[in-house]
Structures are given as C-alpha cells and as structure tokens.
Amino acid sequence: MREKVFVDTSAWKALYDKDDPFHKLAKRALAGLKRKGSFTFTSNYVVDETLTLLRIRVDHASAVEFGEYVRASKVITTLPVDAGIDNEAWSIFKRYHDKTFSFTDCTSFVLMRKLSLDSAFTLDDHFRQFGLISVPKRDDIQSILRRKRFGR
C-alpha cells in the first residue's frame, strides 16, 4: 500500500525558497516521496499560510507559482478544513499551552488523524511533538541547523 503523506507549510516554503537552509533537503525528500508513489495531501489552511509566508518572506512570484502548482496538481489533494475540523483543532490549540503549535498545525493534526495519514512532510518539530511521524528525519534537520549555527 502506498504511503499517505501530509505536506506542511514549512516543507512548501523550503521547496519554493531557494535561500531556505532546508531547500535541498526538502527537494530530496519530495523526490523520495515521488519515487515511492506516495499519496500527498495538504489543506486549504496550509495553502493559505504558505501563500502568505511566501509573499512576505520570498516574493509575489514564488507565492503565485506555488498557488498555481497546488491548484493544478493531479498529485496533491487539498483537504478542506470545515467547522468540525476547526472545532477539534481549537480544542488542541487550547490544550497545548506549552507548545508553539500554530492553529493551522492543529487543523493539520486533526486531518491527519481523521484520514489515517502515515506521516507529515515537515521541517519543524510540531508534528513529532504531537506524536505524528515526520519526514525528513529529525537528525537530518538537526544536522543542517548545526551547520547553519556554526557557519559551515
């Protein structure tokens, strides 16, 4: 059975921002998902968050390129966040006061559980902190952060 993977904002941003320290790692991870024939999902909230992030931190052209890709893609399923998902996400958001989960992260957690998605393609620790599996591996991400911190 093919793996079902949820793509998070941090992965989209790294893929569309050539200056992102995780750009190459994200491209390798995406190539691996494609090679395995993984089913890929994201949400309308993640798309919104990514469009805004790319517009502010990269440029308008990158945001439009991302938006056009997701809208036309035959391999990305964009899941809607409805009122039920929103309410469950709000409960998670309130409960985890000790974490820095965004509200969009919380909606993603709910969608992943409801649809039994296998893992999240993400570059932050939030999904792992919530108990979900994430790709790429945490060690690969930490290695890049160490190199960046020490100027290597």
Contacts of 85 by beta carbon, 8 Å cutoff, 6+ apart: 107, 110, 111, 114
pLDDT range class, residue 81, cuts 50, 70, 90: very high
Domain annotation for the chain: domains and CATH numbers: 4-149 (3.40.50.1010)
Q: How far apart are CA 52 and CA 36, in angstroms?
A: 30
Mention every residue, 6+ apart, whose C-beta is less than 8 A from residue 97: none
pTM, rounded to two decimals: 0.88
- The pLDDT of residue 140 is 52
End-to-end CA distance of the chain: 40
